[in-house]
Amino acid sequence: MANECFSEVIDGVDLTGKRTILTGTTSGIEVETARALAGAGVDVTLAVRNVEGGRRVAGEITAATGNPKVAAESLQLADRASVASFTDAWQGPLHILVNNAGIMALPELHRKPQGWELQFATDYLDHFNLALGLHEALAAASGACVVSLTSVGHLFSPVVFEDIHFERRLYEEWAAYGQSKTANALLAVGAAERWADDGITANAVMPGGIRTGLQRHQEGNMTPEIEAAFADFSWKTVEEGAATSVLAAASPLPEGATGRYFEDCNEAEVHSALDPSATSGVLPYALDAGNAEQLWDLATDMLRA
């Protein structure tokens, strides 16, 4: 299904002249997503921490697709000055923003200097800040889309507004990861609502489980409940994992869809309640407009502090 999806969603699609920014694009599904978009004629900017590695990837994508308009630019998402510099330097419309970068299940609690829990700050807040900085460019595109990478891990936790940063509750790495991925889904819901009048759509994408460096903290680090949930998990290839991102970013198939959650190249099933055995689908708290509004306001206040 996913292999068929990858070949079909962008087959025959010509996006020449469209412009995209992808974060974290030096390995994994991000590279495959960038390659697919470049193959459809998109001008691709890889926003990366490692510029040398990004330029190598850009060259490989150009060689594979024949598209010379693939470039790497420095972006330190965790550094607000770097984000401001990057967004201020962007000129003209932006048609596609794909928020890929992230970290997963850090076994110990880490905080940013502001006291923010690191997974929430990295996976969600840094991308929220980037999206805000690029809002005018997205609005100028008259039909832009934002793709926010989430995960089946969102099933592990809603956003715990009473204690997002584990100041009072015991830190648990999978709860922290789940909260950050729920937040990413809510970013799409919030942007879909707030930016609709600008012609911007936003959707959350669960790419599927892919064996990449993202899992480096998993070995021997899963609770029995998490191990049980992943016992029968179907791991995907990198190409399969990129398919749903490509669908949301470039395919005409979900045209008009916004504020939704996609997986396996389809809109996900909404579960009525948490199923401990579930390895797919989306829970209502990750699509709740009230949660999205509360999180948007909270994140805005955090960035102002």
The per-residue DSSP string of 190-214 comes to HHHHHSGGGT-EEEEEE---B-SGG
Give me the residues paired with residue 143 across strands.
none
Q: Which of 303, 273, 302 is nearest to 164 (CA)?
A: 302
| Cα 134 from Cα 144, distance rounded (Å) | 11
Quick check: 37 and 278 in contact, CB under 8 A?
no
Residue 290 tokens, joined: 């009230």
**Candidates 124, 171, 177, 261; catalytic one:** 177
Q: Which of 271, 267, 293 is nearest to 284 (CA)?
A: 271
The torsion defined by the Cα of 67, 72, 73 and 79, in degrees rounded to 10, comes to 130
Catalytic site includes residue 124: no
C-alpha dist (Å) from residue 247 to 51, 161, 251, 287? 27, 32, 5, 19
| Cα 106 from Cα 199, distance rounded (Å) | 37
Would you give the DSSP letter of residue 235?
-
Specify the DSSP element, H or E, that contains 45: strand 43-48
Q: How many CB atoms lie within 10 A of CB 177?
A: 24
For residue 289, what are the contacts with CB-CB under 8 A and spacing of at least 6? 189, 193
Q: Hey, which residues are catalytic here?
A: 177
